[in-house]
Each structure stands twice: as structure tokens, then as C-alpha cells.
């Protein structure tokens, strides 16, 4: 089928980091006089994702001095600049910017998943300092040196494996969107972790959320035919994903 062929071409280009070629193909398809709704949602979703990634890459390639980085840490309003400043700090000695980083981690304008990215970067640099971190209106203390990075890797790998086994073969693009949502969620809720018995319910919520993003009529109940999970828990996860601005409350 034509649309499946184009979707596959776009997915391959994205996987190979050929973002400009993928964006050009997407733009050509969006100019067509008729586009099926699901295919149009796929195109627009990936266009937005690629555009943001290209913007971020361009910013990362630019040079910022220490004062620029301090200013971003003290006024981290733009979400993409939040990511940019963390990437910039990977190549610097973060110990020299502890006061500014403290502001970043306690600032309610910083996305919760980006605060976790910052903490993981600080952990990689073996920063031994107790930070006050604000997430979802609550505060907690954490020292990056105490973070077990392998805990994140284990959970995310389990989510990836189960998601790909559940929908990856039939719909790789949907699986990718789902994984993006769920990875963001795992990062956002830190220092809380989900346990093994909750993973399937979280994945079911993520698959449903991704389907809705594509404009599909999706219900959690229907997934019980392909994956075993707790429906009430999955509904809770679905609604918690709304904290990350991924959609409407499930009903």
C-alpha cells in the first residue's frame, strides 16, 4: 500500500538520522490534495519532532560562554533551551555552576523530565552535593552521586522490549511514539520508580496515548486481548501522562 510504503521510508530515514531527507519527504506528502487522517497525523507528528530536533542540534553546535549558560540556568523558560543547557554542561565542569544549577532544579518552569536529565548528567560527573528539587509542586532533596543510573536503564529496556514485542512489528512508528511518552514519564516521576508488576499497565496506557496522538479511536480495554495488565492501574497511568501534556483525561 502506498501510504505504508511512504511511512516505512520516513521511518528508515529517521532511524538513519537523515532528518533533512525525512523532512523533505514529509513536506512533499503534506502538499498532496488528499491525505488519510491517520497518515496526516503521522506526518505532522514526525515533522514537529524532526523540526525540534534540528533546532536543538543547531543550538548545540553553536558556542555559548559561561555567562550565557548561567543566564539560561537562572531563567530556564524555554523547554528546548533547558535540554540545550544540559547538553552544553556535559562538556564542562558542572561543579563551577552549582548555585545556578540549584536554581534550575528548583525552578517550577523546568520540565520534570529535564530535571532528571540534569541530575543524571551530574551523576555522570560524580557531583557530590545535595540539591533541592521541585517536581509537580513538591520538593525533595537528592545528591546526584547517590543515583543508580542502571535502575533507569533496566526499566527503560524492559519497557522497550515489551512495547516492541506488543506493537513494534505491526506498527513501528506507533511503538516509537509510545516509547517516547513512556521514557519521558519514567524520567519525570523520578525519584519514584515503577516496579516490574506495573510495567504492562504503563505500556498499555502509553500505547493508548500514542494511538490517540495519531487520531485513532483507542480504548484501553481493547488492549487486554494482546497484553495482560491491570485496567484500573492503566487508567491511572494514562491520566498521569497528562501531567506531561500528552492529551486528555481518559474516560
For residue 249, the model assigns a pLDDT of 36
Q: Indicate the pTM of the whole model.
A: 0.76
Q: Maximum Cα–Cα distance for the chain, whole Å?
A: 58
- Chain-wide mean pLDDT for the chain? 88
Q: Specify the higher pLDDT residue, 168 or 222.
A: 222
Q: Which residues are within 8 A (CB) of 241 and not within 5 positions of it... i.e. 6 or more apart?
A: 181, 185, 205, 206, 209, 247
Compute the distance between CA of residue 200 and CA of residue 195 in angstroms, rounded to an integer.
10
Helix H or strand E segment including 133: strand 131-135
Residue 104 has pLDDT above 90, yes or no: yes
Compute the distance between CA of residue 81 and CA of residue 99 in angstroms, rounded to an integer.
18
User: Mind listing the pLDDT tens digit for each residue in 196-249?
Assistant: 999 999 999 999 998 888 778 888 998 998 999 999 999 999 998 876 654 333
Domains of the chain: 2-60 (no CATH), 63-146 (no CATH), 149-244 (1.10.472)
User: Mind listing the pLDDT tens digit for each residue in 133-158?
Assistant: 999 899 999 999 999 999 888 999 99
For residue 250, the model assigns a pLDDT of 36
Q: Specify the higher pLDDT residue, 126 or 30.
A: 126
Q: Report the number of secondary-structure helices (H) and strands (E) in the chain.
A: 12, 2
Amino acid at each position: 500500500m502506498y501510504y505504508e510504503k511512504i511511512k516505512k521510508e520516513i521511518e528508515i530515514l529517521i532511524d538513519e538520522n537523515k532528518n533533512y531527507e525525512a523532512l523533505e519527504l514529509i513536506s512533499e506528502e503534506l502538499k498532496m490534495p488528499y491525505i488519510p487522517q491517520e497518515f496526516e497525523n503521522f506526518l505532522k507528528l514526525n515533522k514537529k519532532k524532526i523540526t525540534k530536533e534540528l533546532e536543538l542540534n543547531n543550538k548545540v553546535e553553536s558556542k555559548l560562554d559561561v555567562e550565557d549558560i548561567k543566564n539560561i540556568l537562572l531563567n530556564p523558560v524555554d523547554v528546548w533551551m533547558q535540554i540545550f543547557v544540559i547538553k552544553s554542561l556535559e562538556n564542562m565542569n558542572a561543579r563551577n555552576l552549582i548555585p545556578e544549577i540549584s536554581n534550575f532544579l528548583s525552578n517550577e518552569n523546568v520540565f520534570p523530565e529535564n530535571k532528571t536529565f540534569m541530575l543524571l548528567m551530574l551523576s555522570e560527573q560524580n557531583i557530590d552535593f545535595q540539591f533541592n528539587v521541585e517536581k509537580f509542586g513538591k520538593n525533595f532533596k537528592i545528591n546526584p552521586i547517590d543515583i543508580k543510573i542502571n535502575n533507569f536503564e533496566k526499566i527503560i529496556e524492559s519497557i522497550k522490549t515489551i512495547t516492541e514485542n506488543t506493537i513494534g512489528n505491526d506498527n513501528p512508528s506507533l511503538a516509537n511514539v509510545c516509547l517516547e511518552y513512556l521514557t519521558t514519564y519514567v524520567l519525570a516521576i523520578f525519584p519514584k520508580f515503577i516496579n516490574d508488576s506495573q510495567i504492562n499497565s504503563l505500556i498499555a496506557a502509553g500505547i493508548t496515548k500514542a494511538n490517540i496522538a495519531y487520531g485513532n479511536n483507542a480504548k484501553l480495554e481493547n488492549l487486554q486481548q494482546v497484553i495482560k495488565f491491570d485496567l484500573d492501574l492503566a487508567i491511572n497511568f494514562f491520566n498521569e501522562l497528562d501531567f506531561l501534556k500528552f492529551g486528555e483525561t481518559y474516560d
